[in-house]
Structure formats: structure tokens, C-alpha cells
Chains A and B, each alone.
Chain A
Amino acid sequence: MAEVVRREVVYALTAIITVIMIADFFLAIPQVNAVAGELRTWATIISTMALTLGAVNIIRVHSRNVRKRVPGVWYHSAFLVFIFALVTLLGLTNIDNPSANPVYKWLFDHAYVSLGQTWYAITGFYIASAAYRAFRARNIDAALLLIAGIFVMLMNAPIGEVIWAQIPAIGRWFNDVGQVPAMRTFLIVAAFGLLAFGFRTLLGRERGFYGEVA
């Protein structure tokens, strides 16, 4: 019984908030607008709390790995906990502007930035290798995709124009006549789908977010 009541309260709250947010978008009623604004602030606060929760969870999971000496993992976890504690402590030394701390700034500038950019650049190597291995004209559809892909790739690099002056024009044709209308159709269909999802949520028929399928 308590479970049913709890569930119904969640559905009712969802429906009420949905109605308020829709009314806020379409109607200029100061009271509704004020309530909607308050709800949006709550959403921001809740997501900030979720960030804190995520940090706590990371420490919990990795501390457990270290405590249990999980083979092949625990030393990575120990390093994570150490860096987490170090950056937090350095940040707390100047809470208003952590960048003012030279060690904190050095860590960000010389470790975080370099590692982030290296990680991102490595994906380029994987993409090059994956394109070579996977891109095969096994049938007409794949062949069309391959031809369009090559023209669009060469359109995006100035060397395409050097190889043949018409490449950018052909690439742009694939882009403007092929991709844009398809993407617009997809966006409109997705918007209708979202609308249907919204109505189902409003009517209590969409219960996926509560961990069950209606």
C-alpha cells in the first residue's frame, strides 16, 4: 500500500510540474512564472548535489578497491584517491580563486591540459585505423555512403580543392541536399516523439523514469 501511495505521489508531482512548466512557456502569468523559476533553481541545486554525490561515490568505490587490494586495479584507485585529495586540498587553500595557487595552476596547466588533449588526439589514430578497416563497399548502400563520405571528408580539408576544384561543390551537394533534409526530418520526428513522451508522462503512462515499464 505504502509503495502504491509513494508511486502515485511521484506521478502526481511529475504531472503537476509538467503542467507548470508548459504554462510558464506559453502564458505570461506572473505567479506561474515565479513558481517555474523557483523550480528551475531547484533543478540546478539538485544537479549540483548530484555532482557532489558523484564525487563521494568515486571516493567510496576506489577506496574500497584500495582496501581490498583488488588485483590489477587497486594501485590505479590509490592514485586516483591521492590526486583527488591533493587537488581538493590545493583548491581549498584559496577557495575564492583556486587558480591563484601556483601548484594547483601548474597541475591543471601541465598535467590536466596535456593529458586531456593527448586523450582527445589519440581518438584520431583510432578513427583513421577504424575507417581503413571498416569502410568497405560491400553493397550499393555501403558504396554510396563511401563515395559521399570521401567527398565530404575532402570538402572539409583544403587539399580536396587542390586535388580537383569540383570536390568542395560535390561535397557541399551531398551535405546540403542529402544530409540537411534528412537531419531536419529526423529532428521534426524526434520532436513529435518527445511530445508524445511528454503526454504519456503527463497521463502517468510513461513510468520508465520510476524504474518500471508501463
Chain B
Amino acid sequence: MSQETIWDRLQRIDRRVIYWLLFILLILPFLRPLGLPISISPQSRSLLEGLRKLKEGDVVVINISSGVSAWPECLPSLVAVSKVLIQQKAKIIYWTSFVDGHMTFEKIVEKVPGFKGLTYGVDYVHLGFYTGAEPTVAQLATNIRAIFTTDYKGTPIDQLPIMKGVNSAKDVKMVISSDTGDYGDYYIRQWRIPYGVPFAEIGIAMLFSNYQPYWPEIVFGMTGGAKGGAELEKLIGEPGDATVTMDAINTSHLLVVVAVILANLGYAATRRRR
């Protein structure tokens, strides 16, 4: 019977050890922040440049198709984008395809101090929840009132000053979608292509590669996960939740890379022995 070497053991580290190591490495940065510099991707930069082109009174739609579970990834970008939109004096219409979307909206309002100086229903509004995936997104592009008759508080849409003269994609200057799934594709197909409405994507990190082929011609700007949020926070000069999260991302990514390299060293050594 052959004796187990260190190379064999490297390939069979108990998963509980990995879990504990990851847990400790996620906690450490919160006790002692690393504060490593964050480089800016061209996609985040072009998102901010696109937002800066907006003029006072331009109507912007923010589609929330990410749930509360994705807050660590999507919320920082949503907050940063909302801050810039307020600076540009744009009118913001939020709506959501997630049942918990109103909580994301309320969290954005809570985290963006600029909303305090604005009036709900005049400068910004949340129209609420819609179902029906792509057909509904298509219908929103042609007739918003066919989907929403009231806002999420039950106020009739026609009593909201912000909605005066706004009923289709033609009345909207920009659409931004925060996604964990396919809704960005729906807005590309139903808003960006037929009506030419500039479109930007705020997605979880996994979606970044899905939308990268569309950048910059079809999707003018995008952020992926907490890293994208941290980049936007750096660009607007207001570090927030994502900047704090980046330290934990650094340590966790490093652990995975080191673990994979060690396992492969073990694998290569034992294969040569065989």
C-alpha cells in the first residue's frame, strides 16, 4: 500500500477547511481594511460619460430586475447612477420585474442624500411591479399606461406630474437595467434597437461577459458586480458599500486562485509519479 504524500493531500483538502478559510478571509478585511487601489474599466467610464450627457428634465427609466439577494452586487451601482442622475437634474422613473423591487427602490432613496431635496412624483417615481417578461417590456416601449395605471403606492399615473407627456420609449432619453437575468436583453431588443433609446446595463458580475459583446455600440456603458459599483463610486468620488466590499473580494479571489494552483501542483506531481 503506497503512503499518502503531501501532493496527494493537497488535492484532497476537506471542503470544510476551504469554507473556514474563506470565512476568515472574508472577515479579516472588515477588521483591517486593505484599501487597495481600484482600476477603472472602460465600460464603467463610458457609463458615466453617457450619464453626464443628460440634460435637465431628461426622463430616464431604471428597470430593477434584481432582487434583494443581489444588493451586494447591484445596489452600489444603482446608488451611484441615481446620484449622477440627480446631479444632471434628470427625471427618474423606476419600475421593477421583481416582487421585492420596491425594497430596492426604497433602499436607493435611503442611500442617496440627493433625494431629500426632490419631490416624489415630480422628480422621481416608482411605478411598481410588472410581470410578463419580454412582451411586457415591448408593451412598455409603446404604451406605459397599458401596463401601469398607478404608481406603487396606488396613486393614479395621470396624477403624477413626472408622467405628464411620458407614455412610450420615444419620451424616454435613456434606459438603465439592473439585472440578475435576461431583462437587459429584452430592453436591448424592445427599446434600444427599435427606438434607439441609449441603454446601459448594471448586472451581477456573471452577466458582464453576456453584455460585453454589445459594448459600446448597443450598450453604451455597463458595470459588473461589486467591482463595477466600486469603479463608479471611485469615478464620482464618493466611496460607498462596493469600495468596502472590494477588500473581501480581493481576499476571497486570492484564496480561490491559491487553492486551485495548489490542487494542480498536487495533481501534476502525482501524475508524474504514476
Q: Tell me the number of A-to-B contacts counted with CB atoms below 8 Å.
A: 157
Q: How far is the CA of A33 from the CA of B253 in the complex (A)?
A: 51
Asked if A40 and B138 make an inter-chain contact with CB atoms under 8 angstroms apart, the answer reads yes
Q: Taking CB as reference atom, which chain B residue is nearest A38?
A: B146
Q: Taking CB as reference atom, which chain A residue is nearest B155?
A: A96
Name the segment of B32-40, B86-94, B114-122, B158-166 touching the other chain.
Answer: B32-40
Chain A residues within an 8 Å CB radius of B139 = 37, 40-41, 43-44
Q: How far is the CA of A129 from the CA of B132 in the complex (A)?
A: 37
Give the number of residues in B that approach A within 8 Å (Cβ atoms).
62
Which residues in window 11-64 of A have CB below 8 A to B?
25, 33, 37, 39-41, 43-44, 46-48, 50-51
CB distance from B114 to the nearest CB of A (A): 22
Asked if B259 and A161 make an inter-chain contact with CB atoms under 8 angstroms apart, the answer reads no
Which residues in window 102-138 of B have CB below 8 A to A?
102-103, 106, 130-133, 135-136, 138
In this complex, the member of B138, B212, B225, B249 whose beta carbon has the largest number of chain A beta carbons within 10 angstroms is B138
Chain A residues within an 8 Å CB radius of B250 = 157-159
Asked if B38 and A158 make an inter-chain contact with CB atoms under 8 angstroms apart, the answer reads yes
In this complex, the member of A39, A117, A129, A131 whose beta carbon has the largest number of chain B beta carbons within 10 angstroms is A129
Chain A residues within an 8 Å CB radius of B154 = 96-97
Asked if A128 and B227 make an inter-chain contact with CB atoms under 8 angstroms apart, the answer reads no
Give the number of residues in A that approach B within 8 Å (Cβ atoms).
55
Chain B residues within an 8 Å CB radius of A135 = 260, 263-264
Asked if A108 and B100 make an inter-chain contact with CB atoms under 8 angstroms apart, the answer reads yes
Chain B residues within an 8 Å CB radius of A183 = 209-210, 212-213
Chain A residues within an 8 Å CB radius of B132 = 43-44, 46-48
Q: Taking CB as reference atom, which chain B residue is nearest A137?
A: B264
Residue of B39, B135, B263 touching A161 (CB-CB under 8 A): B39
Q: How far is the CA of A175 from the CA of B210 in the complex (A)?
A: 11
Asked if A153 and B252 make an inter-chain contact with CB atoms under 8 angstroms apart, the answer reads no
Chain A residues within an 8 Å CB radius of B212 = 175, 179-180, 183
Q: How far is the CA of A33 from the CA of B249 in the complex (A)?
A: 49
Asked if A157 and B130 make an inter-chain contact with CB atoms under 8 angstroms apart, the answer reads no
CB distance from A114 to the nearest CB of B (A): 9
Asked if A120 and B100 make an inter-chain contact with CB atoms under 8 angstroms apart, the answer reads no
Residue of B22, B257, B267 touching A154 (CB-CB under 8 A): B257
Q: Taking CB as reference atom, which chain A residue is nearest B72?
A: A117
Main secondary structure of the interface of A (DSSP, over half): helix
Q: How far is the CA of A99 from the CA of B69 in the complex (A)?
A: 19
Given contacts A37-B146, A44-B147, A156-B227, contact A187 B256 (CB under 8 A): no
Asked if A120 and B253 make an inter-chain contact with CB atoms under 8 angstroms apart, the answer reads no
Asked if A97 and B153 make an inter-chain contact with CB atoms under 8 angstroms apart, the answer reads yes
Given contacts A44-B139, A135-B260, A157-B254, contact A129 B19 (CB under 8 A): yes
List 10 extra interface pairs beyond A112-B100, A128-B259, A156-B224, CB under 8 A. A37-B139, A40-B142, A43-B139, A47-B136, A96-B154, A128-B19, A131-B259, A137-B267, A158-B246, A179-B209
Subset of 20 A-B contacts with CB under 8 Å? A39-B135, A44-B132, A44-B136, A99-B106, A120-B70, A125-B22, A125-B23, A128-B259, A129-B15, A129-B19, A131-B256, A132-B259, A132-B263, A137-B264, A156-B224, A156-B225, A156-B227, A156-B253, A158-B39, A159-B250
Q: B residues near A, CB below 8 A?
A: 13, 15, 18-19, 22-23, 34, 36-39, 67-72, 100, 102-103, 106, 130-133, 135-136, 138-139, 142-143, 146-147, 152-154, 194, 205, 209-210, 212-213, 224-225, 227, 246, 249-257, 259-261, 263-264, 267-268
Pairs A-B, 6 closest by C-beta atoms:
A96-B154, A43-B135, A116-B69, A44-B132, A40-B139, A120-B69
